[in-house]
């Protein structure tokens, strides 16, 4: 199984051929478990940086909220400060648990959208279990991303390390253009490419055709989520 996970990175075509032809949804559990473990490990290493970023956002939100009486803001900030910077207790457990569980949730939703898009535009009747397995392995470039980014973030004391158009620094954090460009990332496209390889095999389409379809889905998703983020920023400040 470890060989298969490595080969997805080094030889995605041959490996996806095997994954699709010898379908077994239980194979998806290993890459998901690896990603969950790395998420917790990275979160533990970067917990101070993550807490600082969360605190900055919460402090800005509370201070700028006119609906909270001024005399109550200090109390709210104190309560949130204790929960964010606590390294033990329910708060800390929830933080690490949310980091881990975000991976299967993310893969589950992405698999659904990939299946619906592929069935609609590529024809055929791909099953959700097949797409979930393809997506789970396609997310393995994130292992490389963790290995590269986590040490850099720790050494530079900067959580915002970009490996794509986010380096341009256009717009403020939370703005539509800033969020969209931050999502146009080399590791994200790597994942999309591997998904496209698997989809092409499953639907008997060329990688070029599958990649065009999956890239369109990816860009559409970036636009939607950047729009949601910008809208939330406008509402909640």
Q: Where are the domains of the chain?
A: 26-236
Average pLDDT score over residue span 211-225: 97
> CA-to-CA distance for 237 and 233, rounded, in angstroms?
5
The answer for residues whose C-beta is within 8 angstroms of residue 157's C-beta and 6 or more apart is: 49
Average pLDDT score over residue span 114-135: 93
Please, what is the average pLDDT of the chain? 89
Read off the pLDDT of residues 65-118 as tens digits, 9 standing for 90 and up: 667 777 677 777 776 776 777 666 666 788 889 999 999 999 999 999 999 999
Q: Model's pTM, two decimal places?
A: 0.88
**Is pLDDT of 237 > 60?**
no
Closest CA to 144 of 190, 181, 104: 190
Lowest mean pLDDT among 12-16, 27-31, 93-97, 221-225: 93-97
**Is pLDDT of 214 > 90?**
yes
What integer pLDDT is reported at residue 89 of this predicted model?
62
Average pLDDT score over residue span 9-23: 94
What integer pLDDT is reported at residue 98 of this predicted model?
92
């Amino acid at each position: 199984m470890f060989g298969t996970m490595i080969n997805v990175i080094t030889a995605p075509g041959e490996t996806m051929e095997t994954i699709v032809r010898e379908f077994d949804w239980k194979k998806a559990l290993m890459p998901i478990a690896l990603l969950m473990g790395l998420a917790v490990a990275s979160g533990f290493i970067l917990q101070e940086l993550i807490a600082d970023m969360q605190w900055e956002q919460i402090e800005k939100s509370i201070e700028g909220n006119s609906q909270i009486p001024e005399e109550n803001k200090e109390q709210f900030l104190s309560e949130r400060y204790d929960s964010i910077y606590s390294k033990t207790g329910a708060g800390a457990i929830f933080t690490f648990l949310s980091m881990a569980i975000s991976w299967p949730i993310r893969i589950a939703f992405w698999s659904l959208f990939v299946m619906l898009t592929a069935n609609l535009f590529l024809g055929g009747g791909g099953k959700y279990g097949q797409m979930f397995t393809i997506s789970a392995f396609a997310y393995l470039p994130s292992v490389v991303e963790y290995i590269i980014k986590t040490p850099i973030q720790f050494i530079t004391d900067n959580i915002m390390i970009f490996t794509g158009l986010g380096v341009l620094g256009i717009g403020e954090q939370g703005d539509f253009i800033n969020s969209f460009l931050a999502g146009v990332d080399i590791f994200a496209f790597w994942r999309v490419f591997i998904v496209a390889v698997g989809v092409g095999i499953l639907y008997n389409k060329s990688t070029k055709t599958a990649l065009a379809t999956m890239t369109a889905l990816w860009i559409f998703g970036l636009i939607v989520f950047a729009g949601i983020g910008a809208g939330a920023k406008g509402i909640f400040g």
